[in-house]
Amino acid sequence: MFLPLRRMDPPAPDSALEVIELGRMAYDDAYALQTRHQGEVIAWRSDSLRGVDARVGRLLLVEHDPPVITISRRAGARDHLLVPDEVLAREGIQVRDTDRGGDITYHGPGQLVAYPIIDLNRCGLNLHSYMRLLEAVVIATCSQFGVRAERDPSATGVWVGGAKIAALGVRVRRWVTMHGLALNVSTNLDHFGYIIPCGLAGREVTSMARVLGEPPPMDAVKSALVRELRRALPYPCTDASRVSVVSTGPAATRA
């Protein structure tokens, strides 16, 4: 049973989370933008500590085109790619190694990919609570369109009737996040047949379009997700006991 996150602070005002719409963009270009924005959000920290910058981060929204299969550094993740790269190339699907947590997944048109670049220290979140927050945001977003989604205690992500509708995978540097979540809105689910999604054999994938019988408007889904993320983010963190210890090294957590 899904239990909503207990709020400890007021929700973030709109100005605290800058939203950047990227439209349709190749994975490599979006990755470069993530890296740049992550560095900029890290640089905000000195200003926020002086009380002159109230921002907690940025949110990049994108649909990846051309389609791409991304593979994490986890041992054995590439074994979950079921066809040779040459077959995928004929289908116009790229393959990219990536530094997020998780295993293997697919991105393409019709899938809303959200990359929150968030200062977890500023929000008083650790990796576990951040992942649960992202799941809660997706569940609340789906609910607005009549899709009853839920968490699975045995597997990260968001599920509808045992089928995965959203995958999560993040990377953290100095407690500022990158990567994020991918919500299947009207995704070509056939392309997931080229992989074992997230390395979970026997688990199906689904989309909002499949559940509803027709695709909801992508712009409406984007607006709902932005609204729910702003509502869920604790802001600001003023209790030092809730602030994570800053690490200079990267960390990743699974999809």
- What's the domain range around 128? 14-239
Decide if 237 is catalytic.
no
| Any domain includes 252 | no
Any idea which of 7-16, 128-137, 215-224 has the lowest mean pLDDT? 7-16
Residue 129: which of 20, 3, 44, 225 has the closest Cα?
3
| Any domain includes 78 | yes
pTM of the model: 0.86
The more confident residue out of 241 and 9 is 9
Whichever domain contains 216, its CATH number is 3.30.930.10
- The pLDDT assigned to 244 comes to 32
pLDDT band at 99 (very low <50, low <70, confident <90, very high): confident
Q: How many domains does the chain have?
A: 1
Instruction: Calculate the alpha carbon distances from 55 to 38, 62, 79, 127 in Å.
Output: 13, 21, 41, 19
| Any domain includes 183 | yes
Residue 184: which of 132, 221, 134 has the closest Cα?
221
Please say if the pLDDT value at position 124 is more than 80: yes
| Any domain includes 244 | no
pLDDT band at 54 (very low <50, low <70, confident <90, very high): confident
| Any domain includes 55 | yes
| Any domain includes 248 | no
| Any domain includes 8 | no
Convert the pLDDT of each residue in 207-241 to its tens digit.
999 999 999 999 999 999 999 999 999 875 433 33
| Any domain includes 85 | yes
List 123, 142, 198, 237, catalytic entry: 198
Please say if the pLDDT value at position 248 is more than 50: no
Q: Span 159-186, mean pLDDT?
A: 97
- The pLDDT assigned to 238 comes to 37
Instruction: Calculate the alpha carbon distances from 131 to 164, 194, 211, 252 in Å.
Output: 16, 26, 24, 11
